[in-house]
Amino acid sequence: MSSTMPTRVDGDLFEVAKSIGAESSRSAAQQINHWARIGRELEASPRVSHRDIRRVLASEASYDDLSERDQAVVRATWDEQIVERRTRLDLAAEFTRSGRRWTDADAQGHPVAHGDDSDS
Protein backbone atom coordinates (compact mmCIF):
# COMPACT_ATOMS: atom_id res chain seq x y z
CA MET A 1 0.00 0.00 0.00
CA SER A 2 1.45 3.36 -0.97
CA SER A 3 1.23 6.43 1.18
CA THR A 4 1.37 10.09 0.27
CA MET A 5 3.58 12.76 1.73
CA PRO A 6 3.09 16.50 1.32
CA THR A 7 5.72 18.28 -0.74
CA ARG A 8 6.26 21.70 -2.28
CA VAL A 9 6.33 22.10 -6.04
CA ASP A 10 7.18 25.20 -8.07
CA GLY A 11 4.03 26.97 -9.23
CA ASP A 12 5.03 26.89 -12.88
CA LEU A 13 5.71 23.14 -12.73
CA PHE A 14 2.34 22.60 -11.06
CA GLU A 15 0.54 24.59 -13.79
CA VAL A 16 2.26 22.63 -16.56
CA ALA A 17 1.44 19.35 -14.79
CA LYS A 18 -2.19 20.44 -14.47
CA SER A 19 -2.40 21.28 -18.17
CA ILE A 20 -0.58 18.21 -19.47
CA GLY A 21 -2.21 15.92 -16.92
CA ALA A 22 -5.66 16.94 -18.12
CA GLU A 23 -4.81 15.54 -21.56
CA SER A 24 -4.27 12.12 -19.96
CA SER A 25 -7.08 12.38 -17.38
CA ARG A 26 -4.57 12.87 -14.56
CA SER A 27 -4.61 15.43 -11.78
CA ALA A 28 -1.58 17.69 -11.40
CA ALA A 29 -0.35 15.50 -8.51
CA GLN A 30 -0.79 12.34 -10.59
CA GLN A 31 1.12 13.93 -13.50
CA ILE A 32 4.00 14.96 -11.22
CA ASN A 33 4.11 11.43 -9.78
CA HIS A 34 4.11 10.06 -13.35
CA TRP A 35 7.05 12.28 -14.27
CA ALA A 36 8.88 11.31 -11.07
CA ARG A 37 8.52 7.60 -11.86
CA ILE A 38 9.82 8.18 -15.40
CA GLY A 39 12.76 10.15 -14.02
CA ARG A 40 13.54 7.45 -11.45
CA GLU A 41 13.57 4.76 -14.12
CA LEU A 42 15.59 6.92 -16.49
CA GLU A 43 18.25 7.59 -13.88
CA ALA A 44 18.39 3.89 -12.92
CA SER A 45 18.60 2.75 -16.54
CA PRO A 46 21.84 1.09 -17.59
CA ARG A 47 21.31 2.82 -20.95
CA VAL A 48 21.99 6.19 -19.28
CA SER A 49 25.66 7.11 -18.98
CA HIS A 50 25.96 8.92 -15.67
CA ARG A 51 29.70 9.44 -16.23
CA ASP A 52 29.04 11.21 -19.55
CA ILE A 53 26.24 13.27 -18.00
CA ARG A 54 28.53 14.39 -15.15
CA ARG A 55 31.18 15.37 -17.70
CA VAL A 56 28.70 17.53 -19.66
CA LEU A 57 27.39 19.16 -16.47
CA ALA A 58 31.00 19.94 -15.50
CA SER A 59 31.60 21.47 -18.98
CA GLU A 60 34.15 18.79 -19.78
CA ALA A 61 32.22 17.21 -22.68
CA SER A 62 29.75 18.20 -25.38
CA TYR A 63 26.00 17.94 -24.86
CA ASP A 64 25.60 17.11 -28.57
CA ASP A 65 27.66 13.92 -28.12
CA LEU A 66 25.16 12.47 -25.61
CA SER A 67 22.36 10.07 -26.47
CA GLU A 68 18.81 11.43 -26.47
CA ARG A 69 18.18 9.86 -23.05
CA ASP A 70 21.32 11.36 -21.56
CA GLN A 71 20.41 14.74 -23.06
CA ALA A 72 17.01 14.52 -21.33
CA VAL A 73 18.72 14.01 -17.97
CA VAL A 74 21.06 16.95 -18.61
CA ARG A 75 18.14 19.20 -19.61
CA ALA A 76 16.24 18.28 -16.45
CA THR A 77 19.32 19.04 -14.37
CA TRP A 78 19.82 22.38 -16.13
CA ASP A 79 16.15 23.24 -15.52
CA GLU A 80 16.60 22.55 -11.81
CA GLN A 81 19.76 24.67 -11.70
CA ILE A 82 18.05 27.57 -13.49
CA VAL A 83 15.10 27.53 -11.08
CA GLU A 84 17.45 27.46 -8.10
CA ARG A 85 19.54 30.35 -9.44
CA ARG A 86 16.46 32.43 -10.29
CA THR A 87 15.19 31.89 -6.75
CA ARG A 88 18.42 33.38 -5.34
CA LEU A 89 18.59 36.23 -7.87
CA ASP A 90 17.99 39.69 -6.37
CA LEU A 91 19.07 42.27 -8.95
CA ALA A 92 17.69 45.20 -6.95
CA ALA A 93 19.97 44.34 -4.03
CA GLU A 94 22.92 43.70 -6.35
CA PHE A 95 22.43 47.00 -8.18
CA THR A 96 22.00 48.89 -4.91
CA ARG A 97 25.22 47.40 -3.49
CA SER A 98 27.15 48.35 -6.61
CA GLY A 99 25.62 51.84 -6.79
CA ARG A 100 24.01 51.22 -10.17
CA ARG A 101 20.81 52.85 -11.38
CA TRP A 102 18.02 50.73 -12.86
CA THR A 103 14.45 51.02 -14.02
CA ASP A 104 11.57 48.60 -13.56
CA ALA A 105 7.80 48.86 -13.82
CA ASP A 106 5.22 49.48 -11.13
CA ALA A 107 1.96 47.49 -10.83
CA GLN A 108 0.36 49.65 -13.55
CA GLY A 109 3.31 49.17 -15.93
CA HIS A 110 4.76 52.66 -15.49
CA PRO A 111 8.56 53.00 -15.38
CA VAL A 112 10.12 53.59 -11.97
CA ALA A 113 13.77 54.66 -11.67
CA HIS A 114 15.88 53.37 -8.77
CA GLY A 115 19.36 53.91 -7.47
CA ASP A 116 21.44 56.90 -6.41
CA ASP A 117 19.10 59.84 -5.72
CA SER A 118 16.25 58.57 -7.96
CA ASP A 119 14.53 56.73 -5.07
CA SER A 120 13.86 59.88 -3.09
**pLDDT profile of the chain (120 residues), mean per 10:** 79 91 88 85 78 90 91 88 87 91 93 74
Its pTM stands at 0.52
Domain identity same for 84 and 96: no
Residue 61 is assigned to a structural domain of this protein: yes
Give the chain's domain count. Answer: 2
Instruction: Give the model's pLDDT for residue 109.
Output: 93
Instruction: Give the model's pLDDT for residue 3.
Output: 77
| 31 neighbors 38 (Cβ within 8 angstroms) | no
Domain identity same for 64 and 51: yes
Instruction: Give the model's pLDDT for residue 6.
Output: 83
Q: How far is CA 55 from the centre of its chain?
A: 20
* Domain housing 114: 91-120
* pLDDT tens digits along 81-91: 888 888 889 99
Task: Give the single-character DSSP code of 47.
Answer: T
Residue 36 is assigned to a structural domain of this protein: yes
